[in-house]
Chain A
Amino acid sequence: MNELKIFETRGSIKSKVTFLAVIIIVYVLLFEFILPINKVLPKPSLLLESFISLFSDYGLLSASAISTSAVYLSIFVSYILFSIVAPLKISFYYKFPFFISIVGMFRFFPAFFYAVIFAFWFPFSVTAEFVYAFIAVSFMIGISLFNELPKVKPEYIDAARSLKIKETQIYSKIIWKSIQLELFSSLRQIHIYLWAIVLLYEFIGETDGFGNVYRDALSFNDLSGLFALAIITGLFIWLGDVLINYFKGKIINWES
């Protein structure tokens, strides 16, 4: 009975809003009136001003256009490409699993390294940023695909073979379809991870985008600007997550 109550409280929007309101009130009271000058959190009135100055002084509009395009275009293009070449990819995965395991080892290299090396090779280039994001997301989708393949139910493959479905069609109509649910779950995580590495790339490579705005705000010691930027970035990532979940619901109309 108690467990049920806890679950209901967690799920209630009203309680979430109340909790958030309390946090905001405490924050406003504490940092607007009691501790207005500190290095931990910005003054609420300054934070509000920073939202405007991010657009007017830091050029956040064009920066957001570049970062979001880099993230979402690369996810979209990569997913479409994977869908088109799914039979080829899957057959390659089945035939050369050792190759994939070796390539998969590159995931243990820190994303920071890839960002640095890419910025080193192609400095100050938005095109390079798009290519970097595309390679990163394709690599991550590829690894997810490889991880999901052994989980495909053997009865689907047996049934398909028995029904004399061609091998390429088994890859596209059965295996690729059957891993969609898990692939989309991975895509939500990949999306968050991709934002992190794109921001890192922009920060290091000083290319236009959110990452560069972070760099500027840091160079000006603009604490409120950094917090405002974090809130906006968070909103973008949250909206992206909602969008991916929406498409998941539209594309996948079945349960595992």
Chain B
Amino acid sequence: MEDILQVKDLSRIYTDEVGFKIKLFNKINFTVEQEKITSIIAPKGAGKSSLMKIISGLDHPTEGEINFKQKGNVIFIPSKPSSFPWYNVTENIKITSNEIDDTRLTEIINSVGLEGYEDHMPDNRSLGFRFRISLARALALNPVLIVLDEPFTEMDPVTKEEIYNLLLSIPSKEKTTILMATTNISEAILLSEKIYLMKKSPGEIIDSIDIEFYEEVDLKLMDSQKYVELRRTIEEKFKHHHSQKLFNFSI
């Protein structure tokens, strides 16, 4: 599969309340392969959300390029529930795509596991329910890329496992690509085929790791030797970078 997205030397500088110019992230470079899930792991404050918004076209970089190999919709799903609680499931999905035919609508609803809930309102439902609606709404626009910003932060473990498996099925079933930003190493390992490690102050990509694709996620995978080793490798890379930075700083 070829790359669908190429991010080149992307930087973002903002001015704080006092007037100081702060470099949020600096010369970010990475690629995203078509019909795959790619993750960016970064600590809080590294500028993940800003990066995801810039890639989605909701914000502008200070410098750098974002090149899509294919034209189409890029849909951003924020970390907090974003399905509109005043519309039911179908209305939420149809909010931007009124022309969507019933067959496709049913297909999308089935894809995200919302069959039987077409007339339900998103309120008083689990975060998983609201995430499924956001995902269905994105799929209705046949996106080339779905950008997820820390999607599982407040979900309980059972819901997480369900949503992990749902997400894994989406790229091949819907012929789309997913880019996810997270602070959680486990979910990046379980879901992605490629992980980029990003440090903070300023945000920079420090390394990348290719992961074996899991057809189905079971939280028991987290007990496997392979998973433990991978997690340790990622943690070591972050620690190594941090100590290097401290060393430079002390000099």
Residues of A within 8 A of B (CB): 153-156, 158-159, 161-165, 173-174, 177-178, 180, 252-256
Contact = CB atoms under 8 A, between A and B. Distances in A.
Contact of A255 (B58, B123, B137, B138): B123
- Interface size bracket, B side: 20 to 34
A174 B84 contact: yes
B123 A162 contact: no
Tell me the dominant secondary structure on chain B's binding face.
loop
21 contacts: A154-B78, A155-B78, A155-B81, A155-B82, A158-B53, A158-B76, A158-B82, A159-B137, A162-B76, A162-B77, A163-B75, A163-B95, A164-B96, A173-B95, A177-B86, A178-B86, A254-B86, A254-B122, A255-B85, A256-B85, A256-B123
B66 to A, nearest CB: 15
Given A158-B58, A162-B77, A164-B141, 19 more contacts: A155-B78, A155-B79, A155-B82, A156-B84, A158-B53, A159-B78, A159-B84, A159-B134, A161-B58, A162-B57, A162-B58, A162-B74, A163-B95, A163-B96, A164-B96, A165-B95, A178-B86, A254-B86, A254-B123
A254 B78 contact: no
Contacts of B80: 153, 155
Contacts of B78: 154-155, 158-159
Contacts of B96: 163-165
A158 to B, nearest CB: 5
Nearest to A162: B76
Contacts of A155: 78-82
A255 B86 CA distance: 8
Nearest to A177: B86
B121 interface: yes
A234 B79 CA distance: 47
Contacts of A163: 75, 95-96, 137-138, 141
B172 interface: no
A156 B124 contact: no
Contacts of A162: 56-58, 74-77
Nearest to B56: A162
B73 interface: yes
Contacts of A254: 85-86, 121-123
A137 to B, nearest CB: 24
Nearest to B75: A162
Nearest to B138: A163
A164 B73 contact: yes
Nearest to B123: A255
4 nearest A-B residue pairs (beta carbon): A159-B82, A162-B76, A155-B78, A255-B123
Contacts of B75: 162-163
Contacts of A153: 80
Interface in B98-155: 121-124, 134, 137-138, 141
B80, B85, B121, B138 interface centre (most CB from chain A within 10 Å): B85
A255 B121 CA distance: 9
Contacts of B134: 159
A190 B95 CA distance: 32
B84 A180 contact: no
